[in-house]
Amino acid sequence: MANRWNLEEHSHTGKRGRQLVSGLTVFGMMLSVAAGSQALADDAAQGGAPPAQSAPSPAGGANAPDQPGAALQGGVRTIELNLEVIRDFGLDLKKLLRASTDLYDEVTIQPVSLVTQPEIIGPGTIIYIPVATQPTGAYVPPRQKRVDLAMGAMRPLVALMKQDADLAVAGQLQVEYPGDTKEELQPILKAWVGDMQDISNHFAKLESLTTAPPYDNAAIATEVGSLHDETKQIDKSRRKVFKVLQKEGKRQQKKPASK
């Protein structure tokens, strides 16, 4: 049921168990209400043979059959929004931030010189104290193996984002909000769809810019900076969702048990 607070995922076979699911993969399942999946859900409720279950994606994507959530009906899959989902999503965002920072650092290396200022420490004795650095030349050409390593770390994460956001826009995923949190959380999840698509667009440009050397350092740095900012914005709102779910969980625990 949509209003049941649940901190433990269950497989569609009914066996209890803790199943860790990629936060980015499950994220797409969280977006469908905002993307208009209700129409497909209504169609499914009217009957008809359910379609064959899709084969799991190579990266453990949204089509993996052993992931928690309701079975596919009429092309719609549901997932219950809980703290574990949001926590795993945050771990994947952290990986994306780390990899994008590595790429930014690689393309912004410049030769520098020290800026010093004199200081008198005694009669006739002057020393020069370093106070800053300043660039003295153009960017150093990035090392291809470092660029490829950073891009390889980001690629599967961004691919999952795009895949799941596209499914949400198509109305093939549905989220169940715990308690009375739908009104507060739905606008946030809806905004995530656009943010995920922006990240995918920036990464697509990075793919073309990092195919092979020589690299355009400034252009790469600009795209990485935009991708990094989008990711930080999503993580900021993710923390807000986490707090809302925590508050709802405590409220449910305080409710008297039904007889």
Q: Report angle CA 37, 41, 46 to the nearest 5 degrees.
A: 155
User: Using 50, 70 and 90 to split pLDDT, how confident is the model at 74?
Assistant: low
In whole angstroms, what is the distance from residue 136 CA to residue 112 CA? 5
The percent of residues above 90 in pLDDT, for the chain, comes to 35
User: Using 50, 70 and 90 to split pLDDT, how confident is the model at 22?
Assistant: very low
In whole angstroms, what is the distance from residue 81 CA to residue 26 CA? 9
From first CA to last CA, the distance across the chain in angstroms is 19
Distances in Å between the alpha carbon of 187 and those of 31, 33, 100? 10, 10, 27
In whole angstroms, what is the distance from residue 68 CA to residue 50 CA? 18
What amino acid occupies position 95? K
pTM: 0.65
In whole angstroms, what is the distance from residue 96 CA to residue 208 CA? 19
